[in-house]
Structure 1
Amino acid sequence: MPRKSKYSAKEKYKILMEHENGMRVINRICHKYGIDRATFQIWRYKYNKYGIEGLRVLKANKKYSKELKEKAVKEYLSGESSLNEIVRKYEISSKSVVLQWITRYNSHRELTATGKGMNKSMTKGRTTTWKERLEIVLYCKR
């Protein structure tokens, strides 16, 4: 599913240039355009690293290997790096992606390469009949 952004790459560039040209301070720019300061910082980082291409919205989610996910999670949990450092170091799309991996890792679910589907952390139970389900409900209501 394609992503949507409130601002195009050109609009993001114009917003960044307001600060670069000394027209406004970051807090006023963020307030004016209704963006978070962290979002502004991410745009600035991507622009400085990749130019205007870095400001474009990706048409699909990035894919990450199992090894990269594990390395990033362990590096964060060990206290070796902050979320921002990990996102920049491994070129991960956002901090929320890393936080999802951490949640998955901490709940003892396997980190898999992106695109291989969901793994269930629980084993498959047996099928129950309607009568068994009714007995379970009545037992729990006691």
Structure 2
Amino acid sequence: MSRKPKVSFEQKLSAVKDYLEGRKTQRQLAKEYNVDHSSVRQWISNYQAMGESGLITSSKNTSYSQELKYTAVKEYLSGNASKLDICKKYKIRSTKQLSDWVLKYNGHERLKSSGSGGKPIMTKGRNTTLEERIEIVKYCLEHNRNYIETAEKYQVSYQQVRSWVIKYDKSGVDALIDRRGKRKSEDEFTEMDRLKAQNKLLEARNRWLEMENEVLKKLQEIEGGRY
């Protein structure tokens, strides 16, 4: 039996127009329609990306190509855009859908199916040394940016791993130095140490890029019907 949507198409359209024309705020609309603030943001994003059709609740799941899923997930993991921005760009109907793809990409389903024998995903971080952060980023890159697996292996949080990898991508190995307070060992990080760490991480990143190219090539072959 199909579930009746809480808010009709007409109500969503009216809400979006009220917001875009400056009559009501997102917070006011969320209260009026008894929905989360995030739902209103999603309606607005869908309307801006897909027009009125983006507000229609379909009884069938929207189909997305493997390449689109892969591209959207990688863009989110790179830290260059928010989930809502990515959904708008690729016409994905909900941030929850994107979140599901991210979890699948990072092996969440495999970990979940492992039952009680699996290790829990850490939500709290811990203090780490510079050497540990370099090793963690290296491992993550070598394992296809699997943040969950890396977090489990090194007993740090998912958020920490993702943050360190994004910082490294943007600013190199120096971005992994913790400059809060006075950490003598990290302040004494020499140019030779920096070069060694940079080479180690570059090798891991290059291996990841090679895997990326192979996966994209395979996806293009699948989408092109050659397989």
TM-score (norm 1): 0.62
Structure 1 or 2: more helix by fraction: 2
- C-alpha distance in 2 between matches for 1:35 and 1:20: 18
- C-alpha distance in 2 between matches for 1:27 and 1:104: 32
Q: CA RMSD in A?
A: 2.7
Structure 1 residues 91 and 48: alpha-carbon distance in aligned structure 2, compared to 1, 3 A threshold? closer
* 1:65-112 residue CA offsets vs partner (Å, 9 max, x unmatched): 2222222222211223221122111111211112111111111879xx
Percent identity between matched residues is 35
- C-alpha distance in 2 between matches for 1:8 and 1:33: 10
The residue matched to 2:13 in structure 1 has which SS?
helix
Tell me whether 1:55 sits opposite 2:55 in the alignment.
yes
Structure-2 residue corresponding to 1:92:
92
- C-alpha distance in 1 between matches for 2:19 and 2:63: 33
* Aligned residue runs from structure 1 range 5-44, under 5 A: 5-20=5-20, 22-44=22-44
- C-alpha distance in 2 between matches for 1:66 and 1:21: 37
Tell me if the contact between 2:2 and 2:59 (Cα under 8 Å) persists in the aligned partners: yes
The residue matched to 1:64 in structure 2 has which SS?
coil
**Taking CA–CA contacts closer than 8 Å with sequence separation of 6 or more, which of the two structures ends up with the larger relative contact order?**
1
Tell me if the contact between 1:4 and 1:57 (Cα under 8 Å) persists in the aligned partners: no
- C-alpha distance in 2 between matches for 1:49 and 1:105: 25
Tell me if the contact between 1:3 and 1:58 (Cα under 8 Å) persists in the aligned partners: no
- C-alpha distance in 1 between matches for 2:21 and 2:4: 28
- C-alpha distance in 2 between matches for 1:47 and 1:108: 31
- C-alpha distance in 1 between matches for 2:103 and 2:11: 34
Structure-2 residue corresponding to 1:117:
none
- Structure 1 segments, 4+ long, off by >4 Å, are 20-23
* Aligned residue runs from structure 1 range 61-140, under 5 A: 61-107=61-107
Structure 1: gaps (5+ residues): 111-120, 123-142
Displacement of 1:61: 0.5
Structure 1 residues 77 and 59: alpha-carbon distance in aligned structure 2, compared to 1, 3 A threshold? same
- C-alpha distance in 2 between matches for 1:32 and 1:91: 26
Tell me if the contact between 2:42 and 2:94 (Cα under 8 Å) persists in the aligned partners: no
- C-alpha distance in 1 between matches for 2:22 and 2:80: 36
